[in-house]
Structure 1
């Protein structure tokens, strides 16, 4: 009986460690992007997708209450695990007909035509990533 109970406790600890690892990866992913890439979404359970959405909502609310963005850092290095090392990301325009012309924070303009890729500040394109007009190719880590 004692061996059986010890085995159950060990299995429970292993499952909890695995679940903790997956939720940690989801939190790290949120610092890279505010949406789950389609290739990763297929590998997540419905509950994990819901966790990601709720974590995103809480993080956005917290950032608004602080009045600053924790997901973009000017100057490059924060050093924390999961946090972006750069606020520059490479994006590809996926919206039919393009996403139009945007004015960046530094006052420049960029014409986002369908199928083109650009290397821009995360803050300049975050809204478009959420709306699905552009997709993050790489960067921010």
Structure 2
């Protein structure tokens, strides 16, 4: 049956939680089927001087349709996997791939992740902006924080002066609070 393995590849993606291991055997079989069907059509047309017999037109249409369906399924398979790898780069925030995820990826997909990460990092360096700082835009500019380590009087990036004593709570600009949260001085509260 034509296109069985190509359809199975797409179904595997739909049934998986994240991304199943790259199925090189099925992928190769689909490419082989495409080449065989295309070769059969080409050979038939060459033997007839480019003029198929009317009785054979339905067969040629079926072969051509099978080739096109296989191509669409393989392209959908590759595109879905590529988009998942791109999402992984943005959600992980790092330029390294987790060793736990590597067995599910083809060597070329790992190379794609590495090159994509390098491009993203280069862009962020050129622009001078960390695009991974806030994956989701903030709902409020002010956040409530609790002081974990006393700092006393502090002048924030925004120019505001604030007294940060241990176990006190404050509303602060997100941009002012985030560096202190990352340092472990403040804790974001609810």
Q: TM-score, normalised by structure 2?
A: 0.41
Larger of the two Rg values belongs to structure? 2
Match of 2:116 in 1: 55
Match of 1:82 in 2: none
Q: What secondary structure is seen at the aligned counterpart in 1 of 2:179? A: coil
Structure 1 position 77 matched with structure 2 position 151: no
Structure 1 position 105 matched with structure 2 position 165: no
- Residue 15 to residue 108, structure 1, CA distance change in 2 (3 Å): closer
Which protein is richer in strand relative to its size? 1
Deviation at residue 45 of structure 1 after TM alignment = 0.6
Q: What secondary structure is seen at the aligned counterpart in 1 of 2:66? A: helix
Q: Which runs of 4+ in 1 moved over 4 A?
A: 107-110
Deviation at residue 39 of structure 1 after TM alignment = 1.8
Match of 1:5 in 2: 64
Contiguous gaps of at least 5 residues in structure 2: 1-59, 139-177
For residues 61-111 of structure 1, the C-alpha deviation after alignment (integer angstroms, 9 at most, x for no partner) is 11111110111118x537xxxxxxxxxxxxxxxxxxxxxxxxx9328755x
Distance of 1:71 and 1:23 partners within structure 2: 19
Which protein is richer in helix relative to its size? 2
Match of 1:26 in 2: 85
Match of 2:28 in 1: none
Distance of 1:105 and 1:55 partners within structure 2: 27
Distance of 2:133 and 2:103 partners within structure 1: 27
Q: Relative contact order, CA 8 A, sep 6+: which one is greater?
A: 1
Q: TM-score, normalised by structure 1?
A: 0.54
Across the aligned residues of Structure 1 and Structure 2, the Cα RMSD in angstroms comes to 2.6
Structure 1 position 40 matched with structure 2 position 104: no
Q: What is the aligned length?
A: 86
Distance of 1:9 and 1:38 partners within structure 2: 36
Match of 2:142 in 1: none
Contiguous gaps of at least 5 residues in structure 1: 79-103, 111-118, 121-141
